[in-house]
């Protein structure tokens, strides 16, 4: 006779909810500088400890410590800070623009800026990124025009994707930024395919794949890991664990029983779990993964532990499902403030320079917005002509679409 009590379905529940503070001990943080730095050619299974710990470089005083200190050129870090400030300023203005009904929808990356910007600074300019909708920092760090971005958001007749996509679904081959899909996870396995192609052609370029903690539950994520491992594809597999997938916390995606990085190890992929709010840790681990990929040692999966500082999108109200002050209490802090502290502590920047940099990026964003809005918007009816909706379905417009265009134009 069994001693077991009747079975009960386990549904993971976050420790914090509105009115109840989150207990962040589940993050299982490691002290700055405490995690080892494996050799570039380390076998995947030998990364099991670094997939469970948390790589951190910056201590509480803003000093870089431990084996992962990238010993980066201060000017590179200053450039990283500028891109982060610009991204945050851009996001803030666009959230307001959505509230003013100038754009139909927006998604900010508040609190996550260090991750994609730090990685881009570790990549070559022609390495290819397959982003989600929250990696606008890649475009900003790679110098895509703010006006072009805003014209996409405004869906006006200068929108580079011709009004075909909701705001934030950018595309720029020239900046190594694959067209953002609204279907989650699809880009992850495509990135692996791109990386396989690079290897097939004997190229030196690598791919960078992006996904959130929530979408790791998609089949495409698991196929991506299998293909990346099997073909030893030169790809960095990034998981941005910002703790929330709209209203479901990362436990619902599978983060309760194992770290997301551990998924990589089990698939035969070298994996790291990294403080995503620590710009120096992002830079150092991205460089490690990029070098590993470029040298033919295969893929690296990196789980970036961070926090979604804002709402999922402008259509979302997080006060309904998580504590209002959760981000302020998040133990890994704010990536912008932490990099700033480091640059001030090392003397790479002064307070005045920081203030001036903030003013400069704000002015740049304001000027770009002024120019972009002068070209009109979806609201003002300045959109690509309706007849263009029949273009680009196929390379050439087939007969049935010629007929339908004529009907639409009649």
Partner 1 sequence: MASMTMIQAIRSALDVMLERDDNVVIFGQDVGFFGGVFRCTDGLQKKYGTSRVFDTPIAEGGIVGVAVGMAAYGLRPVAEIQFADYFYPAYDQLVSEAARVRYRSAGDFTAPITVRMPCGGGIYGGQTHSQSPEALLTHVCGLRTVMPSNPYDAKGLLIASIECDDPVIFLEPKRIYNGPFDGHHDKPVVPWTGVPQSEVPDGHYTVPLESAAIFRPGTALTVLTYGTMVWVAEAAVRETGIDAEIIDLRSLWPMDLDTVVDSVTKTGRCVIVHEATRTSGFGAELTALVQEHCFFHLEAPIERVTGWDTPYPHAQEWAYFPGPERVGAALRRVMETA
- Which residues of this protein are in contact with partner 1, per CB under 8 A? 128, 130, 160-162, 164-165, 169, 171-173, 178-179, 181, 183, 186, 188-201, 207, 219-220, 223-224, 226-227, 230, 392-395, 398-400
Closest CB 204 distance from partner 1, rounded Å:
13
235-241 and 244-245 beta bridge pairing: unpaired
Residue among 106 and 221 whose Cβ is closer to partner 1: 221
Residue among 178 and 330 whose Cβ is closer to partner 1: 178
Residue among 58 and 209 whose Cβ is closer to partner 1: 209
Burial class (CB in 10 A: 0-12, 13-18, 19+), 338: buried
In the three-class reduction of DSSP (H, G, I as helix; E, B as strand; rest coil), residue 337 is classed as: helix
What is the number of residues in the chain? 410
Closest CB 255 distance from partner 1, rounded Å:
23
Closest CB 48 distance from partner 1, rounded Å:
23
- The rounded distance, in Å, linking the Cα atoms of 287 and 224 is 21
244-245 and 248-249 beta bridge pairing: antiparallel
- The rounded distance, in Å, linking the Cα atoms of 90 and 234 is 32
Name the token pair of 100: 């003013």
Residue among 71 and 173 whose Cβ is closer to partner 1: 173
Residue among 29 and 197 whose Cβ is closer to partner 1: 197
Closest CB 170 distance from partner 1, rounded Å:
9
C-alpha distances out from residue 215 to 132, 152, 175, Å:
10, 25, 25
C-alpha distances out from residue 255 to 44, 170, 179, 261, Å:
20, 29, 28, 9
Closest CB 301 distance from partner 1, rounded Å:
16
Alpha helices in 123-171 (DSSP H): 136-141, 146-154
Residue among 110 and 191 whose Cβ is closer to partner 1: 191
Closest CB 195 distance from partner 1, rounded Å:
8
Closest CB 264 distance from partner 1, rounded Å:
16
Closest CB 296 distance from partner 1, rounded Å:
13
Residue among 196 and 301 whose Cβ is closer to partner 1: 196
Provide CB contacts within 8 A for 301, sequence distance 6+.
51, 225, 237, 238, 239, 261, 263, 264, 267, 269, 270, 271, 272
Helix, strand and coil content of the chain, in percent to the nearest 5, comes to: 45, 10, 45
What stretch of H or E contains 355? helix 351-374
Residue among 177 and 279 whose Cβ is closer to partner 1: 177
Burial class (CB in 10 A: 0-12, 13-18, 19+), 117: buried
Residue among 63 and 164 whose Cβ is closer to partner 1: 164
Closest CB 143 distance from partner 1, rounded Å:
17
């Amino acid at each position: 006779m069994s001693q077991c009590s009747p079975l009960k379905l386990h549904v993971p529940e976050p420790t914090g909810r509105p009115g109840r503070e989150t207990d962040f001990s589940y993050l299982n943080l490691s002290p700055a500088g405490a995690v080892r730095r494996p050799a570039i050619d380390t076998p995947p299974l030998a990364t099991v400890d670094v997939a469970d710990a948390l790589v951190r470089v910056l201590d509480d005083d803003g000093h870089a410590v431990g084996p992962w200190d990238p010993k980066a050129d201060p000017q590179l870090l200053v450039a990283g800070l500028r891109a982060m400030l610009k991204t945050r300023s851009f996001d803030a203005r666009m959230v307001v623009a959505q509230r003013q009904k100038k754009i139909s929808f927006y998604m900010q990356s508040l609190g996550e800026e260090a991750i994609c910007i730090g990685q881009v600074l570790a990549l070559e300019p022609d390495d290819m990124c397959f982003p989600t909708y929250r990696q606008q920092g890649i475009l900003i760090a790679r110098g895509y025009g703010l006006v072009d971005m805003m014209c996409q958001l405004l869906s006006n007749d200068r929108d580079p994707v011709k009004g075909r996509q909701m705001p934030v679904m950018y595309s720029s081959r020239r900046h190594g930024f694959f067209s953002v899909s609204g279907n989650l996870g699809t880009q992850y396995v495509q990135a692996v395919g791109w990386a396989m192609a690079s290897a097939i052609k004997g190229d030196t370029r690598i791919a960078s794949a992006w996904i959130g903690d929530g979408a790791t539950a998609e089949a495409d994520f698991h196929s991506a890991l299998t293909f990346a491992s099997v073909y030893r594809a030169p790809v960095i597999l990034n998981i941005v664990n910002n703790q929330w997938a709209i209203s479901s916390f990362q436990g619902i995606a599978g983060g309760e029983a194992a770290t997301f990085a551990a998924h990589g190890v089990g698939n035969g992929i070298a994996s790291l779990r990294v403080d995503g709010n620590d710009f120096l840790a992002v830079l150092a681990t991205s460089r490690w993964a990029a070098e590993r990929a470029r040298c033919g040692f295969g893929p690296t999966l990196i789980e970036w532990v961070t926090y979604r500082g804002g709402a999922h999108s402008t259509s979302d109200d997080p006060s309904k499902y998580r504590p209002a002050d959760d981000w302020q209490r998040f133990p890994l802090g704010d990536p912008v403030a932490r990099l700033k502290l480091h640059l001030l502590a090392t003397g790479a920047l002064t307070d005045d320079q920081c203030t001036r940099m903030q003013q400069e990026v704000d002015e740049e964003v304001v000027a770009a917005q002024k120019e972009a809005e002068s070209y009109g918007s979806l609201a003002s009816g300045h959109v690509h002509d309706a007849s263009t909706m029949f273009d680009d379905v196929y390379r050439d417009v087939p007969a049935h679409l010629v007929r339908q265009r004529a009907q639409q134009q009649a």
